[in-house]
Amino acid sequence: MNYLLIFVPFIALVLVNLLPKKLRPISSFLVLLLILAAQSIFAALAPFGLIRAVGAVRMEHLFGFHLLIDNLSLLLLLSAGIVGFSALMVAWHSIKDEDDRFNFTNLLFILLIGMNGISMLRDLFSLYVFIEAIAVSTFIMILLYKAREAYEGALKYLILSVVASVMMLSSIALFIMFCGGTSFEVIKLSLVSSGALARIAIALFICGLFIKGGLVPFHGWLADAYTSAPAPVSVVLAGVVTKASGIFTLIRLLTAVIGFSPATKDLLLIIGAISIVIGALAALGQKDIKRMLAYSSISQMGYILVALGCGTRLGLIAAAFHFLNHAIFKSQLFANAAAVEEQTGSRDLGSLGGLAQKMPVTGITSAIASLSTAGIPPLSGFWSKLLIIIALWVSGNYFYAVIAVLASLLTLAYFLTLQREAFFGQVSVKVSSVTEASAGMLIPAVLLSAMTVGLGLVFPFVIKYFVR
């Protein structure tokens, strides 16, 4: 089962490219849709024991790395499935050119392989390889239309990714130097008697991941990349890609290898709190919907980070749950933004207004996702934020708990600004003849906001069976 998650997309990718040119776009779309749906269902059902999947498969004799699925892996598999599905739906309706569309699906295949790999890998170097695979396909994705501003966004991403790669590679080199290997088990064993060098290696790797995850002050590339990327790309980018390569790897690393030392906890808390505040404040000042959402992403990543910084089981649960919620509502918000841009041709809050009258479904789903992000009960975002705050409070980090609470007011402030400027109020001249987006664009939005509401309502159930 485990290796299927990597090989099925890979083989499918090869096969669809062998097909006659005319059949390629539609077949690749359908095959990827099928794979994503299957993966989502698998990941959602696995925790209930309906599908026996949890466990390790050793494949050292074949590839030199081994894959292991645990509940954390399932979390990423599910997120990747859901977000990939949404991005694919958005892409099918917003990418007009057939070749572009085919290229996008191909790249999405590679992204999927990369994320599935990250979710299961237990080897630092292999992890790095998959992260890079994701990064490379992301650069190309951002440049899908070869637009001028996309070059700038992709370039910034590329440059900072290189910085991250340098950090991670030097860290891996250090690990090899004093551990003699890059497998998690090996590193963990030798970390018991670690010196200053090991600490530097850890800090370097974490900082590399911070760049990948776009946390303040490592976030310079993020806003431009998200904003300049084509609509479906920003859905997948914001929803899961940066989180998978940055945050998820960090969680994996912390739980499986390095553990929570006081220094790492402080690092996580400080970087998290800075990200929360700066991200939220920056989002408040944005006029571009996607840019606002990008900064909001930074702020939400900060929440996950401070939850991790508690170093407690509750903090981990909160972080994992917020990870899933964020994947759902952020990809939905970007899908909404895509719908708005598709229908009005603009993302500028100043020129929009009263869209909820013209695009009721988009307006309502966007309101749900916004409220969920801001942590309004009973939506799922409320529960994860509540858990984060409780985790902070219980672990004695009162200062950070207060910041988390106050910053959620800022979150509410910028989302209300977004809702008011774009969807409520007077119908502006520019949007007076706008119609609702096509069904394909609405399916992911409706599906995702249904998940937001549903997860919020059955929250205890989710916590009990899924996020462990």
Partner 1 sequence: MIIAIILLPLIAGLISLMVPDRLKGVKEGIALFSTIIGLIIAALLFKQNIMFTIPWLGFGIDLSFRLYHFSAFILLAIAGFGAAISLYSVAFMWGKEKLNQFYAYFLLTVAFANGAVLANNLILMLFFWEGLLLTLFGMIIIGKKEAFKTAIKAFVIVGITDLCLMLGIALTGSLADTFTMSMISLPTSGLGALAFVLLMIGAIAKAGSMPFHSWIPDAALDAPLPFMAIMPAAIEKLLGIYFLTRISLDLFRLNPGSKISLLLMTIGALTILLAVMMALIQKDYKRLLSYHAISQVGYMILGIGTMVPAGIVGGLFHMINNALYKSCLFLSGGSVEKQTGTTDLSKLGGLGKQMPITFICFIVAAVSISGVPPFNGFFSKEMIYDGALERGWIFYLAAVLGSFFTAASFLKLGHAAYFGKSETANKTKEASWAILLPMIVIAGLCVLFGVYNPLPLHALIQPVLGAKLEGRDFAGLPTNAIIVLITLVVLAAAVLNHWFGVRRTGKGIGAADHIHYAPGLSQTYDLAEKRYFDPYDIGMKIANWLAKLLNAVDKAIDWIYEKLTVGVTFAFTSAIRWSHSGNVSTYVVWSLAGAAVAIIMVLIR
Choosing from 46, 77, 134, 202, the residue that interacts with partner 1 (CB under 8 A) is 202
Q: Which of residues 411-430 bind partner 1 (CB under 8 A)?
A: 413
Burial 322-346 (b: 16+ CB within 10 A, else e): bbbbbbbbbbbbbbbbbbbbbbbeb
Residues 6+ apart with CB under 8 A from 20: none
Q: Residues 273-292: x/- map of binding to partner 1 (CB under 8 A)?
A: -----x--xx-xx-------
Q: Residues 179-198: x/- map of binding to partner 1 (CB under 8 A)?
A: -----------------x--
Nearer to partner 1, 123 or 224 (CB): 224
Distance between CA atoms of 322 and 380, rounded to whole angstroms? 9
Q: Per CB under 8 A, which region of 4-12, 235-243, 263-271, 443-451 contacts partner 1?
A: 263-271
Distance between CA atoms of 9 and 31, rounded to whole angstroms? 9
Nearer to partner 1, 211 or 467 (CB): 211
In contact, 153 and 114? CB cutoff 8 Å: no
Choosing from 111, 206, 355, 448, the residue that interacts with partner 1 (CB under 8 A) is 206
Q: How far apart are CB 160 and partner 1 at their closest, in Å?
A: 6
Closest listed residue to residue 297, CA positions, set 268, 333, 321: 333
Choosing from 15, 57, 200, 394, the residue that interacts with partner 1 (CB under 8 A) is 200
Nearer to partner 1, 284 or 453 (CB): 284
Question: If you compute the radius of gyration of the chain from its CA atoms, what whole number of angstroms results?
Answer: 21
Angle at the Cα of 186 (from 182 to 189), degrees rounded to 5?
140
Q: How far apart are CB 153 and partner 1 at their closest, in Å?
A: 10
Choosing from 15, 23, 30, 159, the residue that interacts with partner 1 (CB under 8 A) is 159
Question: Does residue 143 touch partner 1 according to CB under 8 A?
Answer: no
DSSP helix/strand/coil, 195 = coil
Question: Does residue 405 touch partner 1 according to CB under 8 A?
Answer: no
In contact, 111 and 236? CB cutoff 8 Å: yes
In contact, 160 and 221? CB cutoff 8 Å: yes
Choosing from 97, 99, 266, 348, the residue that interacts with partner 1 (CB under 8 A) is 266
Question: Does residue 199 touch partner 1 according to CB under 8 A?
Answer: yes
Distance between CA atoms of 340 and 437, rounded to whole angstroms? 8
Q: Per CB under 8 A, which region of 79-87, 256-264, 386-394, 444-452 contacts partner 1?
A: 256-264
Q: How far apart are CB 202 and partner 1 at their closest, in Å?
A: 7
Q: How far apart are CB 278 and partner 1 at their closest, in Å?
A: 6
In contact, 90 and 36? CB cutoff 8 Å: no
């900072």: which residue's tokens? Answer: 160
Name the residue type at position 141. M
Q: What share of the chain is helix, strand, coil (3-state, %, to 5)?
A: 80, 0, 20
Choosing from 59, 263, 394, 439, the residue that interacts with partner 1 (CB under 8 A) is 263
Choosing from 69, 80, 95, 167, the residue that interacts with partner 1 (CB under 8 A) is 167
Distance between CA atoms of 352 and 423, rounded to whole angstroms? 8
Nearer to partner 1, 131 or 451 (CB): 131
Site size for partner 1, by CB under 8 A? 38
Choosing from 78, 121, 168, 211, the residue that interacts with partner 1 (CB under 8 A) is 211
In contact, 379 and 456? CB cutoff 8 Å: yes
Question: Does residue 160 touch partner 1 according to CB under 8 A?
Answer: yes
Choosing from 66, 93, 156, 347, the residue that interacts with partner 1 (CB under 8 A) is 156
In contact, 139 and 157? CB cutoff 8 Å: yes
Angle at the Cα of 331 (from 325 to 334), degrees rounded to 5?
140
What DSSP string runs through 402-424? HHHHHHHHHHHHHHHHHIIIIIS
Nearer to partner 1, 73 or 300 (CB): 300
Nearer to partner 1, 66 or 290 (CB): 290
In contact, 76 and 239? CB cutoff 8 Å: no
Nearer to partner 1, 32 or 410 (CB): 410
Q: How far apart are CB 139 and partner 1 at their closest, in Å?
A: 14
Which tokens go with 87? 């991005």
Question: Does residue 238 touch partner 1 according to CB under 8 A?
Answer: no
Q: How far apart are CB 155 and partner 1 at their closest, in Å?
A: 7
For binding to partner 1 (CB under 8 A), which residues are involved?
155-156, 159-160, 163-164, 167, 196, 199-200, 202-204, 206-207, 210-211, 217-221, 223-224, 261-264, 266-267, 271, 278, 281-282, 284-285, 410, 413
